[in-house]
Amino acid sequence: MPPRIPAVRLRVITVLFFFVVIAAGLAFKTGIGTLCDMGYGAVSAICPLGALETALAGRTFPLRTLISLAVAVIIIAISGRLFCAWICPAPFLGNLIRSGKSHEDSTAAHTAAVREPPLLDSRHFILGGALLSSAIFGFPVFCLVCPVGLVLATFIGVWRLFQYNEPSWTLLVFPAVFILEIVICRKWCRKICPLGAILSLLSNLNPLFRPRVNRGLCRQVSEKMDCSLCKSVCEESIDLHDSDKSQPVTECTKCRDCADVCPAGAISFPLLKKGQT
């Protein structure tokens, strides 16, 4: 059997794929859009956070927004927080900026055991603040500093610079704000991101592709070894062996790093949970 491609490489490929799609839309003027509002013609998928902020800012919920939100709920119910690991460019670029360390190089410093994880955390309160401020000030406040939006705006700005020779001050400001957020706020994704908060709440509807431990293969269970490799690489502080001192499995981004690092190959992501293994 040929060696399996590490999930981190596959995630990089998927992120780059979306940038290629966006670039193709810019080159051929197809109007595909970006990750914040991607689609074709009358069919589009709007960022659920941006849609909510815009609706509250305008104090109206048009049919397009309601349909987009309904579609977003369905997609998240199927995929969970997959967007965070496989599509969002912020973690990928953040790892490049922070000394070029990959996702697997994360240390236990941010994966310490969690005791009685709260139902709501700082992300959810920031989400509430973003929605409230949008309603008060009349424009989508968080969109101004959203890392995803900053990356995409920078990408489009660079594209227009080379295609139309249109320099802009945003080519300095947007990357600077993004780097400030990702480098100084190192736990942006886990502690601040309100989009992650929405995905976190809706992921409770997701029963698919959750990490599963084969207890017959797991050395910690079958051989009583002191092994915690899967926990040490998990960016979400999920401990598959101790749910009482762990973030809930609904926080899983399905990055598959735990499966890659397991020396016994005991972790899988089955379509559905099929009883104890």
- Domains of the chain, by residue range, sit at 7-207+216-254
Question: What are the tens digits of pLDDT across the range 124-154?
Answer: 999 999 999 999 999 999 999 999 999 999 9
Q: Is the pTM of this model over 0.75?
A: yes
Q: What percent of the chain has pLDDT over 90?
A: 49
Q: What is the DSSP letter of 114?
A: -
Span 210-232, average pLDDT: 89
Q: For the chain, what is the radius of gyration of the CA atoms?
A: 20
| pLDDT number for residue 43 | 63
The strand pairing partners of 267, in sequence order, are: 213
Query: Are 201 and 124 in contact, with CB atoms under 8 Å apart?
Result: yes
Q: How far is CA 33 from the centre of its chain?
A: 19
The pLDDT of residue 42 is: 59
Six-digit token pair at 163?
Answer: 């295609």
Q: Judge whether residue 16 has pLDDT over 80.
A: yes
